[in-house]
């Protein structure tokens, strides 16, 4: 298993995996209205626009040549904002998420970032447990926020 920066020749495979991850979002955590909105909002064109931003960074986790996970976001004033992270179900709880975040954290340190931030739906307790184990702290709770759901804002000082 390795983590690599997303190369253009892997872009279509990444989009396919990303869009499948939206379809597979756990219905008990993410209401259908969120899933539908995300699937429409994260089109191939939107992801390509994000990928082409000069301040963006996309990493893939691979097992041999198979894409098994991803993390992406962008740099903003010394902070890296994680837009999305995902691991295919059969590779969860096998260290893929930790490896993605470790790779991102090391690169952010090299780039002199002082913090990594992101948010997640608060019901996603399994993911929040992982984020806290690898050093992220819940900085804020936004009650009745997007889609009338509670969201946690997490950060990690570098």
Distance in angstroms (rounded) separating the CA atoms of residues 153 and 158: 17
pLDDT digits (tens, 9 = 90+) for 68-120: 999 999 999 999 999 999 999 999 999 999 999 999 999 999 999 999 999 99
Inter-residue contact 119 to 68 (CB < 8 Å)? no
Using pLDDT thresholds of 50, 70 and 90, give the confidence band for residue 46.
very high
Q: Is 19 exposed, middle or buried (0-12, 13-18, 19+ CB in 10 A)?
A: middle
Q: What is the pLDDT of residue 26?
A: 62
pTM for the predicted model, two decimal places? 0.94
Tell me the domains of the chain and their CATH numbers: 2-157 (3.40.630.30)
44: left (phi over 0), alpha (psi -120 to 50) or beta: alpha
Q: Which residue has the tokens 């806290």?
A: 132
Inter-residue contact 69 to 60 (CB < 8 Å)? yes
């Amino acid at each position: 298993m390795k983590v690599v920066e997303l190369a253009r020749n892997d872009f279509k495979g990444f989009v396919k995996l990303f869009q499948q991850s939206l379809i597979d979002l756990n219905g008990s955590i993410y209401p259908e209205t969120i899933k539908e909105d995300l699937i429409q909002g994260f089109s191939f064109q939107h992801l390509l626009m994000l990928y082409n931003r000069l301040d963006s960074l996309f990493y893939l986790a691979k097992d041999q040549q198979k894409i098994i996970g991803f993390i992406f976001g962008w740099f903003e004033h010394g902070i890296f904002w994680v837009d999305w992270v995902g691991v295919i179900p059969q590779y969860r709880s096998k260290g893929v998420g930790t490896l993605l975040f470790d790779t991102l954290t090391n690169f952010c340190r090299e780039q002199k970032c002082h913090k990594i931030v992101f948010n997640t739906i608060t019901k996603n307790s399994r993911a929040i447990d992982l984020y806290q184990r690898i050093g992220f702290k819940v900085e804020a709770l936004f009650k009745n926020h997007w889609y009338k759901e509670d969201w946690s804002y997490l950060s990690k000082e570098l």
